[in-house]
Amino acid sequence: MCSICNLFKGDNLVPTLIVAFASFLVGLLVELVICKATCSCKNGKMGARPAAKAHPRAEKKPAAKGGDDKFEKRHPAPADGSIEIYVGNLSYVLTEDQLRKEFEAYGTVNSARIITNRYNNKSKGFGFVQMPNRPEAEKACEALNDKEIRGRKLKCNEAKNLI
């Protein structure tokens, strides 16, 4: 240990610093070569992650106006011709039965569903209601839009189906 300390004393300082710097560069070069040889990076770039695979159920969406070509989950329009209503800003404690009852005051409801997080099964704060009759659906949407239910003002409009 003392012999290393003696290298940094007196006239040996400059050559010692040059040797230390050269040793550092050689170590860095060796590490780079080893990493390059063992790395499975894409295009040989360090830190690059392999490309993610598309979800098997994802459908390819046609290119948008901006030229984006992204994968997006699609929800088809109801096959029976009923109207689907998007209901946003829902209270997180509101149940599907309570949502259905709110819309049943304005007409027949085929279904009411609240979208939940798949991991913890908690509400995401929005849902969809299907009604078979367009005039009833429009009346319900107009009446319930901005109506406060369980402390939150609902946002209702006809759902925009992507297909």
CATH of the domain at 110: 3.30.70.330
CB atoms within 10 A of CB 155: 16
Query: Based on the domain organization, do 24 and 87 belong to the same domain?
Result: no
Query: Based on the domain organization, do 107 and 154 belong to the same domain?
Result: yes
* Structural domain includes residue 50: no
pLDDT of residue 30: 83
* Structural domain includes residue 53: no
Q: pTM for the complete prediction?
A: 0.53
Q: Please give the tally of structural domains in the chain.
A: 2
User: Which of 27-31, 75-79, 110-114 has the weakest average pLDDT?
Assistant: 75-79
- pLDDT tens for residues 112-161? 999 999 999 999 999 999 999 999 999 999 999 999 999 999 999 998 87
Query: For all residues of the chain together, what is the average pLDDT?
Result: 78
pLDDT grade, residue 5 (50/70/90)? low
**Cα–Cα distance for residue pair 116/119, rounded to 1 Å:** 9
**Cα–Cα distance for residue pair 31/158, rounded to 1 Å:** 59
Q: Which of 159, 102, 97 is nearest to 130 (CA)?
A: 159
Structure tokens at 22: 């050269």
* Structural domain includes residue 127: yes
Structural domain of residue 136, as residue ranges? 72-158
CA angle (69, 75, 77) in 5-degree steps: 120
What 3 state SS string does 61-80 have? CCCCCCCCCCEECCCCCCCC
Q: Which amino acid is at 154?
A: L
